[in-house]
């Protein structure tokens, strides 16, 4: 794996609605392999590889936004209250750090509570950015921030913030680089705002009007102590979605991914996700409907500063997609 590239992807600032920096990083990576590059009105990066006349239009989507925080109030002592951008859990915040777009770093702390045995809510948390008062606080209401979590490799396991879904972006970049001539028009979409509204993929899919759409995202696992029972584990191959909270995968796409995994001699797992969804749930509903599905990279500790994936699952995700496109 290209850890230098993955480090660049995961460490670039890009919470939902503020994807400009990560979009420019991705744009620089795709231009040499694309027939067409454009930015849609809501900021999604669309990369086209032309196929033969009469081929299908296949859309592959990975969201480039990450979860984050947004300042809502600065008190007289310079402490910053915040709300969530996307699915931020308070238990994943306390003791962590957040960084704003201008580089300002803050420690996330929890206020004193009479009953400290209960789980704190977001309104019990605050950021200490080292200010002594409201006047010298560099953070203003409305400023976005992201978790701090550097990329670390532990054998084949990778730990970082924002692997949801920069690892999906990495998979699409590798597919784009390795893709031979194709009978189909392939649209690689690096979408915006997946963590809050799915807006980027929804509007881009409407514009492209594809014959088929596949999201590439992460999914949780059931292989940690006392985890919610789930038949997905790290290192056992990419997960082919059957169902999640927002959709049932179209059987055409689901079966295509199964056939591709078997053709590529890749291990794979079947995924039923009880909570959460992906860009696929939005793309399937545009126009008259788009057959949609999802290929998921198993990830532990999703929506935390220390998400974890397995390098073999990532590389096998690339192999499965490369095998799937000629079969579509």
- CA neighbours closer than 13 Å in the CB half-sphere of residue 279: 34
| Nearest partner of 320 among 180, 210, 187, 171, judged by Cα | 171
Q: Are strands 292-298 and 212-219 parallel, antiparallel or unpaired?
A: parallel
Q: Could you confirm whether 123 is annotated as catalytic? A: no
How many residues does the structure list for the chain?
328
- Of 19, 29, 66, 194, which is the active-site residue? 194
The span from the CA of 71 to the CA of 83, in Å, is 7
CB burial of 151-175 (b: ≥16 within 10 Å; e: otherwise) equals beeeeeebbbbbbbbbbbbbbbbbb
Dihedrals phi, psi of 17, to nearest 5 degrees: 90, -5
* Tokens at 148, concatenated: 């701090």
- Active-site positions read 194
């Amino acid at each position: 794996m290209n850890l230098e590239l993955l480090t660049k992807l995961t460490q670039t600032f890009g919470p939902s609605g503020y994807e400009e920096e990560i979009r420019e990083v991705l744009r620089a990576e795709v231009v040499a392999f694309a027939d067409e590059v454009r930015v849609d009105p809501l900021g999604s990066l669309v990369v086209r590889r032309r196929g033969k006349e009469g081929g299908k239009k296949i859309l592959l989507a990975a969201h480039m936004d990450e979860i984050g925080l947004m300042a809502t109030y600065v008190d007289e002592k310079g402490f910053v209250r915040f709300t969530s951008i996307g699915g931020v859990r308070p238990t994943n915040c306390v003791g962590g750090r957040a960084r704003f777009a201008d580089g300002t770093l803050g420690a996330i702390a929890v206020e004193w509570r009479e009953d400290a045995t209960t789980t704190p809510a977001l309104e019990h948390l605050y950021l200490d950015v080292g200010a002594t008062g409201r006047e010298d606080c560099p953070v203003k209401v409305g400023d976005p921030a992201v978790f701090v979590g550097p990329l670390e490799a532990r054998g084949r396991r990778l730990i970082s913030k924002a692997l949801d879904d920069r690892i999906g972006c990495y998979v699409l970049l590798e597919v784009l680089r390795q893709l031979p001539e194709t009978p189909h028009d392939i649209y690689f979409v690096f979408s915006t705002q997946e963590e809050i509204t799915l807006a980027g993929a929804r509007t881009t899919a409407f514009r492209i009007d594809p014959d088929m759409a596949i999201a590439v995202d992460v999914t949780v696992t059931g292989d940690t102590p006392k985890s919610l029972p789930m038949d997905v584990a790290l290192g056992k191959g990419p997960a082919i979605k059957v169902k999640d909270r927002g959709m049932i995968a179209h059987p055409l796409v689901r079966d295509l991914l199964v056939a591709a995994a078997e053709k590529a001699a890749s291990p794979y797992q079947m995924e039923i996700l009880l909570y959460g969804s992906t860009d696929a749930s939005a793309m399937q509903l545009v126009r008259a409907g788009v057959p949609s599905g999802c290929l998921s990279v198993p990830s532990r500790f999703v929506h935390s500063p220390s998400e974890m994936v397995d390098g073999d699952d990532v590389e096998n995700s690339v192999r499965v997609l490369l095998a799937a496109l000629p079969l579509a």
